Amino acid sequence: MRSRTAKWRFRVNSRLRRQTYRRVLEEASIWERWRNLSGGIVLDYGCGTGWFGQRLLERGFRVLGLEVQREFLQEARSRADGDRALLVLYAGGTIPLKKESVDLILAVGVVRSLMDRGPLDWAVEEWRRCLRSHGRLLLIETDNAALRRKITVEGIREALTRQDFRVLAWHPIRKTSWWGLGLVKAGLLPFALYGRMAGWELRRRREERVHPKCKMAYMGEFLKS
């Protein structure tokens, strides 16, 4: 029973994250800013189940996905259609790519696991090595207690700027109110209503008043100088 409950909560959390990330990407006009880059090669670093990669394929990009968990990779492969996606099981460490071989890097929710190998600088160096000149990095990371035990969101920005990444955008994300999340997880609110609530929260995200129980994340877009 506990196993089934854990799987259900994982599916709920995954769907909530996807809805929130979709909204913030649209509000930040990421797709519009990347329109002239369509057709380029994207490294989906830690591609998970492939949701972001699918959005990129739909917009004409070629996607190389790296994932350390085999079951996630299998689901990502089931999503990817055509010959513009290559999804690879990744052991961690050095990225198996040549220098300056990708136009964009997408890294969603990977920082905490990267910190298990030591300071974040090694990963930033690898991202910089793989990116072409003036390539872009889009990083989305949840700011929670588990992450803060290893690094703060300010520390993430500093690690990138130390390697001469220039900040193009930095958006705090409020994943709707804590009580709203609880009601959705309990099955008392439909996902459709959650999406509307998330929209209200995102429109207010620039306010400094944030309840300590609000789910927070940050989206950063960086340019390789």
- What residue spans define the domains of the chain? 2-224
**Coil, strand or helix at 199:** helix
Q: Work out the mean pLDDT of the chain and round it to a whole number.
A: 78
Of the listed ranges 60-74, 91-105, 136-150, 178-192, the least confidently predicted one is 178-192
Work out the number of other CB atoms within 10 angstroms of the CB of residue 107.
21
Strands 102-108 and 85-89, how do they pair? unpaired
The rounded Cα 183 to chain-centroid distance in angstroms is 24
How confident is the model at residue 67, as a pLDDT? 93
Summarize the confidence of residues 102-119 as an average pLDDT: 88
CA distance 206 to 211: 13
Q: What totals of helices (H) and strands (E) does the chain contain, helices first?
A: 10, 7
How confident is the model at residue 82, as a pLDDT? 72
Stated pTM of the model:
0.75
How confident is the model at residue 202, as a pLDDT? 52
Backbone angles phi, psi at 156, to 5 degrees: -65, -45
Which residues, other chains included, contact 7 with Cβ-Cβ below 8 Å and sequence gap of 6+? none
Q: Are 48 and 71 in contact (CB under 8 A)?
A: no
How confident is the model at residue 65, as a pLDDT? 94
How confident is the model at residue 123, as a pLDDT? 93
DSSP 87-113: EEE--SSS-SS-TT-EEEEEEES-HHH
Of the listed ranges 183-187, 200-204, 205-209, 214-218, the least confidently predicted one is 205-209
CATH 3.40.50.150: does it fit domain 2-224?
Answer: yes
CA distance 125 to 131: 10
200-209, Cβ contacts within 8 angstroms, sequence gap of 24 or more: 200/176, 201/174, 201/175, 201/176, 201/177, 202/20, 202/23, 202/24, 202/27, 202/173, 202/174, 204/174, 205/171, 205/172, 205/173, 205/174, 206/172
How confident is the model at residue 211, as a pLDDT? 44
Q: Are 143 and 216 in contact (CB under 8 A)?
A: yes
DSSP annotation of 188 reads S
For 153, the token pair is 């969101």
Backbone angles phi, psi at 41, to 5 degrees: -95, 125
Per-residue pLDDT tens over the stretch 75-89: 889 888 778 889 999
- For residue 189, pLDDT beyond 80: no
Per-residue pLDDT tens over the stretch 27-85: 556 777 777 777 899 999 999 888 888 888 888 899 999 999 998 899 889 888 778 88
Q: Are 205 and 172 in contact (CB under 8 A)?
A: yes
